Structure 1
Amino acid sequence: MINGNAKMDDDIVTQERNYFLQVLKTFDNYKKQSLLRIEYKEKCLSALPSQHQTWLEKYKNDLDNIKSCIDKNADYIPIVVQHAKNIFENLYTSDNSGSHQKSSVGTLSEGLDKVQSVFKQLMRDWSSLGAKEREECYSPVINEIELQFPEDKVDRRDIEILVPGAGLGRLAFEIAKRKFNCQGNEFNMFMLIVSFHVLNHCKKIDEFEVFPWIHQYCNNLSVETQMLSVRFPDIITSLDKSSQFSMTAGDFLEVYTEPDVFDCVATCFFIDCASNIVEFLETIYTILKPNGVWINLGPLLYHYSYMKNEKSIEPSFEVLCEVIKKVGFVMEKCQTGLKTRYCQNPQAMLQYEYDSVFFVCRKPMLNGNHFMGDLQNEIADAFNGDKKWD
């Protein structure tokens, strides 16, 4: 007799394995799909009147140069894919379902865009060109963590910190580098595969070169803007043996359900990735230990907002602050208008800049069987001018 739960578990593993293989195949297909887009542009060019084609001769040469950059991006992919086979203890590429089955699965429809976004993320997280963005976005979070847990008062090895939406892992890495027990969590398999390579297999500074914006055809002063390259990693990515650093794969809401685990949750450009942001707030509250802190920086882009057939809510920051208090947090710090950017080409004609919010919230200590959050929130509101003392 077949165990129904066991069969269901096997089905889930099979689905996850197939998705992993699809991601690997999408990586493999990057060059082909990218060159097909160039071929279409060349076809459009060849359909123009001959005089126009003559005037656009440099544009035609530019497309050839762009192809060369795509080739160089593609050279990095086999290195990543080769090491990806060691992720998850070979669960997805075991002898029973090995990489030979990669040919039996298709590519992901949105995959090319995700591969392109990984190249931009490599710039942001692991290149010297991304240092300014990291200073804007990561430094306030790191500085607050160090303020909350001073090295002369706590043993940082005992301070457990979670970084959801860790991307390619630089923020979590920098926290672990400061002797904290840090775990990054990421749902995007494309990000996980590349972060695995950078964090575990890069041996030299500036070992690899990629062209993050080679697929960005608009708002370029010259083709050199589009062909701007970066080298990575900008530092040696190994940590000393006493460091405690890990990365987990999976949906934040599904992976983290155990209460009172972390001393700190640090979110950077993350909370607006939820279709229902309240679920994120509740989960953060649950997994924090009493007196634990949540440190957040980022905008409210609400990624699901314009996705067809996706449910989404988009509360303003004012509404969000009220919900944060209702969940049980005490907001201790709040700053708006922090100028931050995300994966921007500094030479492009169009520059996006967010006025991000930065805040620190605390999960109150227990007092007997009751949390002291309501009283502390009233006091905090009073000092913020929201209430008058009688």
Structure 2
Amino acid sequence: MKPHFLHISAALIALLFGSSCTAADENIKVDTAHQRNPILASIPNDLQLTRRSKQSGSLNGAIVTPEQISSYPDTPRHVEARKKLDKSMQKGWGNWNAQHPRHRLLDALYGYSRYYERQKVELDRVEGLYKHISKAQRSLLEHQVQYSKKFSRIDGLLKKNQELCDNIVQHAMEFYEIGQDEFQKHVKTLEASGKLADKISVSQALKHYVRDWTETGESERRETFSCLMKTLNGLFPERDGAAPVKVLVPGSGLGRLGHDIARLGGFDVTINEWSMYMNIAYRFIEANRGRNSHSFYPFIDGWSHHATEEDMTRELIFPDTSINSTSVVLAEGDFTTAFADKAGFFDVVVTYFFIDTARNLMSYLDTIKKVLKPSGHWVNLGPLLYGTGPFVQLSLEEIVQVTEAMGFEYLNTDESCGPLTFPGRKVRSMEAVYGFDDKALTKSAYNAQFWVARRSSKP
């Protein structure tokens, strides 16, 4: 997921935060598997970080009923994924350093646990700046809009968002079997070294609840998801539940696209995400899956582009639909290494706001080809917003030319997915909004590129 960009607990939630950007991890880090890959194939670029009827009271702190909680699915696919995950989380797997999956998990837990603390610093800074205006100016503002009271109101809402973060941490520690002693030891080590909790990665991961799992986010999902669903239905019009179509969605973020594909029926979906900030947020909602069971205040961290104070402080609830993970499994880790044993396995790979997040785009392309069955399909929709330090930055035309040389054949697609980008190439353009806040006085959108390419029938 670009941000170009849960399993067994009675925890509850309420979500958060802002900054319009493209994915989630603030720091470019390398999965332990990369230590065996000198090419550092797919380390996400840092561009990724820069991409209800109101019931009485807030849902924060509400008791989640047993009906809203699901244990981790026990299908063979889920069992296999869990075994791989448990193995990768062992300290003895690979080298123990900042790139180890367990280390990255502990870093993410640290980030969520310090959400309020990190946000309060910024709130105090904003409040301090207010003191620089004249007494007369302050008097006018206080009389007309009671400006200083906004600080205490937002402080209270930040604390409510911290409740959500605490529940995400609690669930993650249970799911990944992280004890308090281990976590606190990790926190002390980080604090002793002067390392601050990662505010940006936490806020971006939480912000994706808006895009993926709220009614507000539907305005951003509508056009692009419609194009993708129509395409998949067209590619696989007759599906057999006994032999479902195997779909891979790398860079899945908080997983909504994968779940919507699964809802079509006849698809077994594997979603893949590298960011532990994203993964523990997804694990939480996967386990605590009751519709409209959690609430949060996602826009209180940013003071710009609000038409009203109510827009800034409004509460959103999620998920906007119930979640069934039976046909969706999350495979955590680096896209280019997580599927080393899945050569020729998938019928279709759907890359959505993803391919430009690679450190090495060519390794992404190699992996897409590798995991597809002969004559399998690659469906892409997203921008080409390369981050800092990518090994290669191809134009759209160059991507088409290179992948055709790799054995991909570009297919005709429905004009409902936008006009052709340029003559002679079967690639379409469509506007894809990526801003999180549908009421903001600004708009962030990409001229996203859509195509369907078929892998060569040769093994």
Output the TM-score relative to the length of structure 2: 0.71
Matched AA of 1:72: K
Matched AA of 2:256: R
Residue matched to 2:323: 237
Where 1:176 maps in the other structure, the secondary structure is helix
Residue matched to 2:246: 160
Displacement after TM superposition at 1:211 (Å): 1.8
Does the alignment pair 1:290 with 2:377?
no
**Larger relative contact order (C-alpha < 8 A, sep ≥ 6)?**
2
Matched AA of 1:254: T
Where 1:185 maps in the other structure, the secondary structure is strand
Instruction: Work out which of the two has the higher radius of gyration on C-alpha atoms and give 1 or 2.
Output: 1
Residue matched to 2:304: 218
Residue matched to 2:273: 186
| Mapped contact 1:338–1:355 kept (Cα < 8 A) | yes
Output the CA distance in 2 between the equivalents of 1:163 and 1:227.
33
CA gap of 1:339–1:94, structure 2 versus 1, over 3 A, is same
Among candidates 124, 132, 155, match of residue 47 of structure 1: 132
Greater per-residue helix proportion: 1
- Indicate the larger mover: 12-21 or 166-175: 12-21
Output the CA distance in 2 between the equivalents of 1:135 and 1:115.
25
Displacement after TM superposition at 1:335 (Å): 4.2
What are the equivalent positions in structure 2 for 1:200-349 lying under 5 Å apart? 200-202=287-289, 204-239=290-325, 243-258=326-341, 259-302=343-386, 304-305=387-388, 310-333=389-412, 334-349=426-441
CA gap of 1:83–1:140, structure 2 versus 1, over 3 A, is same
Root mean square deviation, CA, Å? 2.5
Output the CA distance in 2 between the equivalents of 1:110 and 1:221.
31
- Indicate the larger mover: 204-213 or 28-37: 204-213
Residue matched to 1:388: none
CA gap of 1:225–1:363, structure 2 versus 1, over 3 A, is same
CA gap of 1:290–1:121, structure 2 versus 1, over 3 A, is same
Output the CA distance in 2 between the equivalents of 1:113 and 1:169.
20
Where 1:162 maps in the other structure, the secondary structure is strand
Residue matched to 1:73: 161
| Runs ≥4 residues deviating over 3 A | 5-16, 97-100, 107-110, 153-158
Q: How many pairs align?
A: 349
CA gap of 1:87–1:35, structure 2 versus 1, over 3 A, is same
Output the CA distance in 2 between the equivalents of 1:301 and 1:100.
38
Matched AA of 1:39: D
Matched AA of 1:255: A
| Mapped contact 2:104–2:276 kept (Cα < 8 A) | no
Matched AA of 1:276: N
Per-residue deviation, residues 54-84 of structure 1 (Å, max 9, x unmatched): 2333332223222222122112111111110
Identity, % of aligned positions: 26
| Mapped contact 1:205–1:236 kept (Cα < 8 A) | yes
CA gap of 1:312–1:49, structure 2 versus 1, over 3 A, is farther
Where 1:115 maps in the other structure, the secondary structure is helix
Output the CA distance in 2 between the equivalents of 1:321 and 1:347.
37
Output the CA distance in 2 between the equivalents of 1:343 and 1:188.
20
Output the CA distance in 1 between the equivalents of 2:236 and 2:344.
18
| Mapped contact 1:267–1:296 kept (Cα < 8 A) | yes
Among candidates 5, 21, 33, match of residue 106 of structure 2: 21
Residue matched to 1:99: 183
Where 2:282 maps in the other structure, the secondary structure is helix
Per-residue deviation, residues 235-287 of structure 1 (Å, max 9, x unmatched): 11135xxx432101111112123421111101111111112222211110111
CA gap of 1:28–1:156, structure 2 versus 1, over 3 A, is same
CA gap of 1:10–1:336, structure 2 versus 1, over 3 A, is closer
Output the CA distance in 2 between the equivalents of 1:229 and 1:157.
42
Residue matched to 2:207: 120
Output the CA distance in 2 between the equivalents of 1:47 and 1:7.
51
Where 1:199 maps in the other structure, the secondary structure is helix
